[in-house]
Chains A and B, each alone.
Chain A
Amino acid sequence: MELKKMIIDEREVFFEEGKTVLQVARENDIYIPSLCYHRKTGPAGRCRVCLVEVEGMRGLQTSCSLPAKEDMEVKTHTEEIIEAQKLFINLLLADGHHNCLSCEANGECELQQACYHLGIEVPAFQVDSLKEDYDDSGEMIRRDPNKCIHCGRCIDACNSVVVNEVLDFGYRGRDVKVICDNDLPMGDSQCVQCGECSQLCPVGAIIDKKSIGKGRTWELEKINTTCPYCGVGCQLTAYVDKKKNHIVKITGREVPPNDGMLCVKGRYGYEFVSHPDRLKYPMIKKDGKHVRVSWDEAIDYTAERIKTIIKRDGPDVFSAFGSGRITNESNYAIMKFTRAVIKTNNVDHCART
């Protein structure tokens, strides 16, 4: 596609038609504070922090919803912009309860990042606001309304990305809050704990319970891998505590096939990896006890037993089960092996009902 040119902060940058100013800036590593935009949920216009000044346009514009145009001239940090950004963020800080010291989002929080860039150390003013209780009813997820900035990303994620249709805004004005179904505790609602909302929350208002206190992002090694549960092959990042050799958190990677989404098992069912009972190598029962053996020995032993039994009782005593956790190709091989080598049609799959 033909690239177009525009100017951001006196720098020429090139972009593809159809992008917003915020997207073009990000692609060019120009930071514009923004709290409610996410690629997957789209421009929401709710935080009003992503302000820019555009030559020839009156007032400031929200860059997340502003289409980039050829030869546009944009400024991202004039005094006017910074004053407004600081003020809006201070409004959020003044009427919320933020303390990064022990917050799970520390280091990954988009509000904290904006504060850092704008040099906001402590809220410039304070208004009375009551502290609310956590919603700890979800099996895997904790919701902390005190840190919610009402960006609506979780809501759009739940309704439009994973289409579980659990979340929405309830109430009005300053009383607005994110509700599950009829304003039920998350654990009593229809939520399936997929964690998409948690992944897209820009702050620490929706967090993964099992990760609380288990390590901060920069202390953990991030390992990209494929989810072992099913054949879809979702891509994920495992956050690993190297010293303990434990996974402490998993997030979905925004690449095909899952674009960040995971199911409850993929996102939260990771303890088996370091479970003491986990089978890690082949074993054969000898004298009533499982004994570790080499792969060669295990395979030879199994082949031998299959051959013997089939010879004795015929191929129809054999049956094979494929699995949703393995790939299509592996399932094909199982089928081929069963029909062509063993010569029986007794082949099935765990996902068939």
Chain B
Amino acid sequence: MQNHIKDKIEAISARYPDKKSAIIPALDILQREKNNNLSSEDIREVAHYLGTTESRAYGVATYYTMFNVKPVGKYHLQVDTNIPGFLTGADEILKHLEKKLGIKSGQTTADELFTLTEVQDLGSCGTCPVIQVNDIYYENMTLEKTDMLIDSLRKGIMPEPDKTSYYSTECNILLKNRGKENSRSIKTYKSNGGYKTLEKALSMKPSDIIAAVKEAMLRGRGGAGFPAGLKWGFLPKNDDRPVYLICNADEGEPGTFKDRQIMEYDPHLLIEGIAISAYAIGAKKAFIYIRGEFRWIAEILEKAVKEAEDEGHLKYTDIVVHKGAGSYVCGDETALLESLEGKRGYPREKPPFPANKGLYNCPTIINNVETLATVPFIIEHGVEEFRKIGTTGNFGPKLYGVSGHVNRPGMYEFPLGTPLEKILDAAGGVKGKLKAVIVGGLSVPILRADEIKGLKMDYDSCLKAGTMLGSGGIMVINDTVSIPELTLRTIGFYAHESCGQCVPCRKGSHTIKELLKKILHKNGTEEDIELVLKLCRNIKGRTICPTGDAFSIPVEAMILKFRDEFDALVSN
């Protein structure tokens, strides 16, 4: 390994309590130095350098999709064909590229200029279709823009990406700085009171902060809606191990693109939230685990952390931005811990829970970006003000990401409990005739058009309506869409992302995918549909992590609610 690479790896590994944690960043550094490719020899060197086994390092390199163990061309074009992309024409773009470049997905052009890959969910649901070229996202793509992009790349120029995206806010909390000039600079942030709340918090007793968050009934925004204050209370008392806070910025579930709005446009809001929360739980070190594809956002965060440090706001807690490398399952909190420890993203069996045995076997709290970014408001304005927003037991603001068949897909901040119809109106209304809505990211049961009347978008109301608020990623589907096709896309995503650790998920997702393909190709039978349902029923609740539920629940709902469309495919 050349010395300058060694120095870089050395510098990065010094940020972790255990240098094995630096394996993903180290592989990333090496890959960048080697024209975007990783050889077996590179991986072996990293293993030796960080003191881990060769097979462990190779297992890591082949687990995460962002490591190119097979060679790729100068420009790696990745087209996201997951649901929001599928709804907005990503398939056409992929086909167009295949024709234009004369290669299939997974191949490289003879001149080694382009590699084309079909990928699953880049977190751009509101700005689909998206093509990722090396580190850059080209969003809001059309066939025409695709042609322009390729022509430009052929000339060796990476064009400026189109950054348009729709948003609005009724609460002015999470998106309050969005749209301001230099919204991400510490100057802008401080100009209306930023970091004053942290000062206030540091003068409070940590237990009083925890009590306030508890009383505010702030529910986790990562998907499960678990009360944050209650989770913090699970930390063991009188324990001399260090405590860690991890901000989950993996944002990998199709339909979800909310956390990036905070991180990209108001990073200091998140950093202040992390600093307050870390102080409350006694964490001297906090990590932001951000999905690796959001490289430019990670850079924004790193810069913001540096600014906050320089201005003396991070004296209590040191914040490390850690980039993942392409794995949805690493959003699961225990998979995230493994990944952060430098391993494959294999979820752990629970118990023990992370509050007791988390990162490096130490007490650890993991919260979503939006959850932590909401904390400053509670401390600044008090519990009472916070509880004025939203509905009983579902207090506070919420980011709703709307994608698919609406006129203005984007990010809309409303109080929890806002009617779905109102949110859809804010998003410019439905394009065409509404057929179905998935209200909380791809892992929740789909709702038919007739089921959404009057639906309030909060945790309890969604549960009552037979679905879940999840991440608040709303995917709107009009009547041009075949639900069996949508179901295949759904399972396609999970089969691609399954970590492969447990049988029902590894083999189940693949088998369901194969059965649905068979049905869609009109080779299926009624028994195949029944078998898919039986698999869903049996997988639910029986896997190591909730990924098994995350596909069996929505797939089952799609079939049960749109059975006639499936029957039509098998009856003739």
Contact = CB atoms under 8 A, between A and B. Distances in A.
Nearest to A155: B55
A92 B503 contact: yes
B508 to A, nearest CB: 6
A340 interface: no
B542 A173 contact: no
B538 A83 contact: yes
Nearest to A58: B541
A173 B538 contact: no
Interface string B37-74: 00010011000000001111011001100000000000
Interface stretch (A159-167, A208-216, A305-313): A159-167
Residue from B503, B509, B515 having most chain A Cβ neighbours under 10 A: B503
A187 interface: no
A80 to B, nearest CB: 9
A88 B504 contact: yes
Contact of A95 (B53, B498, B502, B511): B511
Contacts of B497: 173
Interface string A42-76: 01011111010000000110000100000000000
A169 B344 contact: yes
A48 B506 CA distance: 11
Contact of A46 (B498, B502, B510, B535): B502
B53 A165 contact: yes
B538 A87 contact: yes
Given A43-B349, A51-B542, A128-B514, A174 B506 contact: yes
Given A45-B502, A47-B502, A170-B62, A91 B508 contact: yes
Interface string A26-38: 0000000000000
B506 A181 contact: no
A94 B543 CA distance: 19
B55 A167 contact: yes
Contacts of A170: 55, 58-59, 62-63
B340 interface: no
Given A59-B541, A87-B535, A46 B53 contact: no
B510 A159 contact: no
Contacts of A289: none
B110 to A, nearest CB: 27
Interface size for chain A: under 10, 10 to 19, 20 to 34, or 35 or more residues? 35 or more
B496 interface: yes
Contact of B503 (A47, A65, A125, A190): A47
A191 B158 CA distance: 46
Given A83-B538, A175-B500, A181-B54, A94 B507 contact: yes
A171 interface: yes
B507 A174 contact: yes
A150 B40 contact: no
A127 interface: yes
A176 interface: yes
A168 interface: yes
Given A48-B543, A127-B514, A173-B497, A179 B58 contact: yes
Contacts of B130: none
A94 to B, nearest CB: 6
Given A65-B349, A176-B500, A182-B44, A95 B58 contact: no
A47 B503 CA distance: 5
A183 B346 CA distance: 19
Interface string A81-92: 001100110011
B388 to A, nearest CB: 36
Given A95-B510, A173-B496, A182 B43 contact: yes
Most buried by B among A46, A49, A59: A46
Given A95-B511, A150-B506, A174 B58 contact: no
Nearest to B548: A48
Max chain B C-beta neighbours (<10 A), residue from A60, A83, A150, A166: A150
A127 B509 CA distance: 12
A172 interface: yes
A125 B518 CA distance: 13
A166 B53 CA distance: 8
Nearest to A152: B501
A250 interface: no
Contact of A59 (B40, B509, B534, B542): B542
A261 interface: no
A174 B53 contact: no
B349 A45 contact: yes
B500 A174 contact: yes
Contacts of B56: 165, 168
Contacts of B26: none
Contacts of B63: 170-172
Contact of A127 (B349, B510, B538, B541): B510
A91 B507 contact: yes
B58 A183 contact: yes
Nearest to A124: B531
Nearest to B535: A87
Nearest to A175: B500
Contacts of A238: none
B327 to A, nearest CB: 8
A248 interface: no
A181 B511 CA distance: 30
A21 to B, nearest CB: 14
B375 interface: no
A118 to B, nearest CB: 14
Given A125-B531, A174-B510, A182-B54, A169 B59 contact: yes
B495 interface: yes
A95 B510 CA distance: 9
Contacts of A173: 495-500, 506, 509-510
Contacts of B53: 159, 165-166, 168
Given A127-B514, A166-B55, A176 B542 contact: no
A180 interface: yes
A-B residue pairs, 4 tightest by C-beta: A168-B55, A176-B500, A91-B507, A173-B498
Interface of B: 40, 43-44, 53-56, 58-59, 62-63, 327, 344, 346, 349, 495-504, 506-511, 514-515, 531, 534-535, 538, 541-544
Given A45-B502, A181-B44, 4 more contacts: A170-B55, A173-B500, A183-B40, A190-B54
15 contacts: A84-B542, A87-B538, A91-B504, A125-B511, A125-B531, A169-B346, A170-B62, A171-B500, A172-B499, A173-B495, A173-B510, A174-B510, A176-B500, A181-B58, A183-B62
